[in-house]
């Protein structure tokens, strides 16, 4: 975890993600990425020169049928407030609408519920668990499926809500995240989504894995190119004095 915390700190500083006095929400889905983001920020909080606090928000999208007790226990151990928000997103998408391609609508509904929960608690900054592999996959998805060179941004300000999204895990690989979960016995809640593993992102992941067999540094080079181009808001900022 020490290496991940170090990389998170460098990413936070490179993109000035955290300011003194920030209350940073972490969207904790229960997956490995969000759990590691939560732990890394909780540990960074202890010694970062700009004081900030961390709170966890978890959406129960199954109407109360999932068990998030392990996440609540982790937050108690980390001394992080834990907020569980019950929704009926799965029911709406799969039982009422019978969506054949549910990912876009699900993401929109999750984002809306998460932002509403944040604003009710006076929170305006949220850390999302996207790592380096996610960024590279999104780059390829934009190229292959939309015909454009694009990706999400390290820091995104949403003017409609006044919420700022940060992605402090961007310098970490998926392999590092998976290893941190195993080494530290972190709780992971199984994703019950019927579409899990059958998405365009999964297709991109498999293609990149195949290409990486021939070009071992593919993901590293693509990520570096995204910073050097740079894509909108991807250029590393000058260090503060």
Question: In tens digits, what is the pLDDT along the chain, a chain of 241 residues?
Answer: 899 999 999 999 999 999 999 999 999 988 999 999 999 999 999 999 999 999 999 988 776 677 899 999 999 999 999 999 988 777 777 766 666 666 777 788 888 989 999 999 999 999 999 999 999 999 999 999 899 999 999 999 999 999 999 999 999 999 999 999 999 999 998 766 666 656 788 899 999 999 999 999 999 999 999 998 878 889 888 877 6
Query: Residues 170, 11: contact at Cβ < 8 Å?
Result: yes
Give pLDDT, residue 84: 93
Give pLDDT, residue 142: 92
CATH class for the region spanning 2-228: alpha beta
Give pLDDT, residue 64: 65
HSE (side-chain half, CA atoms, 13 Å) at 105: 14
Domain spans in the chain, listed from the N-terminal domain onward = 2-228
Give pLDDT, residue 98: 62
pTM higher than 0.85, yes or no? yes
């Amino acid at each position: 975890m020490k290496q991940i915390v170090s990389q998170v700190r460098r990413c936070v500083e490179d993109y000035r993600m955290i300011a003194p006095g920030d209350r940073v929400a972490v969207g904790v889905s229960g997956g490995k990425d969000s759990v590691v983001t939560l732990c890394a920020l909780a540990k960074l909080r202890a010694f970062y020169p700009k004081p900030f606090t961390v709170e966890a928000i978890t959406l129960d999208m199954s109407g109360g049928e999932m068990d998030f007790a392990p996440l609540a226990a982790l937050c108690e151990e980390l001394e992080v407030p834990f907020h569980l928000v019950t929704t009926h997103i799965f029911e709406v998408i799969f039982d009422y609408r019978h969506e054949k391609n549910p990912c876009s609508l699900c993401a929109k509904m999750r984002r809306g519920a998460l932002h509403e929960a944040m604003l009710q608690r006076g929170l305006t900054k949220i850390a999302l668990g996207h790592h380096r592999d996610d960024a590279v996959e999104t780059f390829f998805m934009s190229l292959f499926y939309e015909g454009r060179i694009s990706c999400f941004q390290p820091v995104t300000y949403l003017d409609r809500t006044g919420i700022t999204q940060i992605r402090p895990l961007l310098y970490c690989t998926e392999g590092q995240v998976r290893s941190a979960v195993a080494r530290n016995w972190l709780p992971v809640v199984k994703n019950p989504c019927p579409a899990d593993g059958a998405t365009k992102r999964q297709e991109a992941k498999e293609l990149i894995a195949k290409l990486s067999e021939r070009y071992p540094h593919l993901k590293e080079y693509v990520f570096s190119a995204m910073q050097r181009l740079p894509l909108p808001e991807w250029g590393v900022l000058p260090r503060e004095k």
